[in-house]
Amino acid sequence: MSQKTIAVFFGGCSTEHAVSLQSAQAVLQAIDRSLYTPLAVGITRDGAWRCYPGDPGRLPDGSWERDPGCVPCVLSPDRTAPGLLLLDGEPRLLPLDAAFPVLHGKNGEDGTLQGLLELAGIPLVGCGTLASALGMDKDRAHRLAALAGVPAPRGTVFRRGEAFSAVERAAEALGWPLFVKPVRSGSSFGVSRVTGRGGLRAAVEEAFRHDAELLLEEAVPGFEIGCAVVGNDTLVTGRVDEIELSAGFFDFEEKYTLKTSRIHCPARIAPQTEERAAEAAKAVYRALGCRGFARVDLFLTPDGRILFNEVNTIPGFTAHSRFPSMLRAVGVPFDRLVNRLIALAFEDGSRESASPEEKPNAAPDRPQRAPLPVRKPSAGNAAARPCGQTQEVRA
């Protein structure tokens, strides 16, 4: 069997560029060279595309961009010859068998790159265009999750230019404290926890620096849990994890330093609660049309309610990140996980843009799901710990 060429895309024009470099290094080093030939395709902060042939160890510090072997490139949208066009002289095509996007945040995780790959007919590792766009959009993801029986915290969306007085009224109705979030952003960029009216305007201005829409969201009592989901039609989940905070919320600094917080995997919750959380994660995954993999983040309240927070369609991918840790807890090591995700890209129906003729074994439409049952956690679980409310956790 000939090796398949897998392009690993990283970097990108996003506030999460540096995090992507770390994830891509780990993915490139985990790919099984007996099955696949990895091809590193980096996108600089300015948006320049470079085919990088060097050591993945040079990715995290950014020195890969200065490698003399870097070749300017673009993706060919021609479905009859899918691949990478190398531009170091006369253009030449390097065929691709699949693409593995490891770009976090906007211009990579939000469906933009996925759409280009699907236009070219290149099999995609992970979620396609629609699911990626929905996963980045908290408002629309919350609406679809609620229809699938997994409600989100109470919140109100405002667009740039709306009267600040309307924002103030909505905030008073939600109550203090509350969170102000960009609707589409990652790693808690632009997120603020507001404890009173005096801090609201600055939080609104900060959120609008990252997106044209913001979400005012109630602060949820309890704590945050997450669940890794893997699969296309048949889904597998990892162990549910838990974020323990001593104060504040799980902002960008806490995600990557854990100065005052801890991540417990498995979560310190009752087995039946973990099972309900996994079922809720799968329901959200299906409702948003996810494929390949994603991490679903939830809240567990003191009275046992499970609320949907967000979906990360490209979660952190270092060996110590949350998503791989959840799978490792059920016996799936990091290298096996990476290669399994690549294999899923070649399963029938793994491309959203494939026609019915290309998907002869596609599963029929699934029936609507009833709301999940709600049970109270056992004593000493949710009620004892503060909520780590956050947005787009990568760690």
CB burial class (10 A; 0-12, 13-18, 19+) of residue 278? buried
In a shared domain, residues 30 and 75: yes
Residues 140 and 281 grouped into a single domain: yes
For 74-117, what is each residue's pLDDT tens digit? Answer: 999 999 999 999 999 999 999 999 999 999 998 999 999 999 99
294 CB burial (10 A radius; 0-12, 13-18, 19+)? buried
User: Quick check: is 256 catalytic?
Assistant: yes
Tens of pLDDT, residues 218-228: 999 999 999 99
Q: Answer yes or no: 375 catalytic.
A: no
Q: Are residues 164 and 238 in the same domain?
A: no
Domain assignment of residue 389, yes or no = no
Single out the catalytic residue among 23, 76, 192, 312: 312
Catalytic, 168? Answer no
Residue 75 belongs to domain with CATH number: 3.40.50.20
Within a domain: residue 360?
A: no
Q: Are residues 161 and 207 in the same domain?
A: yes
Is 390 within a domain? no
Domain with 343 in it: 135-151+221-353+368-384
Report the C-alpha gap between 174 and 194 in whole angstroms: 12
Indicate if 142 and 280 belong to the same structural domain: yes
Clarify whether residues 200 and 117 are in a common domain: no
Would you call 310 a catalytic residue per the annotation?
Answer: yes
Q: Let me know how long the chain is.
A: 395
Of 181-195, 263-277, 324-338, give the lowest mean pLDDT range: 181-195
CATH of the domain at 164: 3.30.1490.20
The predicted model gives 133-142 an average pLDDT of: 97
Among the listed residues 295, 328, 351, 385, the single catalytic one is 295
| Annotation marks residue 238 as catalytic | no
Looking at the fold, whether 43 and 75 belong to one and the same domain comes out as yes
Q: Could you report the per-residue pLDDT of 308-327, keeping only the tens digit for each?
A: 999 999 999 987 899 999 99
Residues 232 and 312 in one domain: yes
> In this structure, are 225 and 342 located in the same domain?
yes
pTM of the model: 0.86
Q: How many domains does the chain have?
A: 3
pLDDT number for residue 349? 53
Write the CATH number for 315. 3.30.470.20
16 catalytic residue (yes or no): yes
